[in-house]
Structure 1
Amino acid sequence: MIRPTGFAKLALCIAAFMPLAGQATAAQDYPTETVADYVLGCMRSNGQTREVLERCSCSIDVIASLIPYEQYERSETFRRMALTTGEASSLFRETAPARAAGSALRRAQAEADIRCF
């Protein structure tokens, strides 16, 4: 019997996960910094374990498959600006574009939570 080498085992593992590659392709449209930032924030909120790393990575992949990066970036900008103080910050919370952007991201995150957590 021929035993697979370390490289052959890795190739077999990659081949086993190829059907999941479609999800990862969507995340390739997102900049690496954005994906890393999301995963780190997710891990800060949910724990610093390997399982949480996998779930958070799954989560951003699902979000990337549901909304294009430009929409994600717009939603995150509205969300972050809404956290600021002052009179002008209401523009980022109470306007129709702000609500629409936030709604799209919340729906994508809810779907990601169902699929990954």
Structure 2
Amino acid sequence: MSFAAAIGLVSTLAAGSAIAQDAGVRAMADRLNDYPTAARADYVFGCMAANGQDQKSLRNCSCSIDVIASILPYEKYEEAETVLSLQQASGERMSAFKTMNMATTIVADLRRAQAEAEMLCF
């Protein structure tokens, strides 16, 4: 293989690596930004209602949902929110959501993400 061919091969491999790395970065960014704006805003409003209606709370609560989003994909967050709302309902049919192993695991994942967010943001 000639020197020019070797340089061409290295350039091609480097370009392929850069494209793959760029695609990986885009995939990570998409995963971290998969929460709809309305869901983020809803979380921040609820968080501020519990922690105060000032700029500090706004920053802390915004940080909190960003940390949660970095840990938990939106699909899992949405499942946990659904289970939590079903757990608040009364009745025999809803009691399954309070004791079902899958439901408690889903909520536990959200609680762990919230705990991490609280440690980092508040």
Q: Secondary structure at the match of 1:29?
A: coil
Q: Letter of the aligned partner of 1:30 in structure 2?
A: Y
- Is 1:105 the counterpart of 2:104? The answer is no
Aligned twin of 2:120? 115
TM superposition score normalised by structure 2: 0.74
Task: Give the C-alpha shift of residue 41 in structure 1.
Answer: 0.1
Aligned twin of 1:56? 61
Q: Letter of the aligned partner of 1:82 in structure 2?
A: Q
Number of matched pairs: 94
Task: Give the C-alpha shift of residue 102 in structure 1.
Answer: 0.7
Aligned twin of 1:66? 71
**1:46 aligned to which of 42, 48, 51:** 51
Equivalent pairs: percent with the same residue?
A: 50
* Deviations 1:14-50, CA, capped at 9 Å, x for gaps: xxxxxxxx99x72x21011100000000000000000
* Deviations 1:38-82, CA, capped at 9 Å, x for gaps: 000000000000000000000000000001000000011000110
1:4-83 matches, within 5 Å, as 26=32, 28-83=33-88
**1:93 aligned to which of 90, 98, 103:** 98
Q: Which moved more, 1:54-63 or 1:90-99?
A: 90-99
Which is richer in helix? 2
Task: Show structure 2 runs of 5+ residues with no match.
Answer: 1-27
Task: Give the C-alpha shift of residue 89 in structure 1.
Answer: 1.2
TM superposition score normalised by structure 1: 0.77
Moved runs in structure 1, 4+ residues, more than 2 A? Answer: none
Computed over aligned residues only, the root mean square deviation of the Cα atoms, in angstroms, reads: 1.5
Task: Show structure 1 runs of 5+ residues with no match.
Answer: 1-21
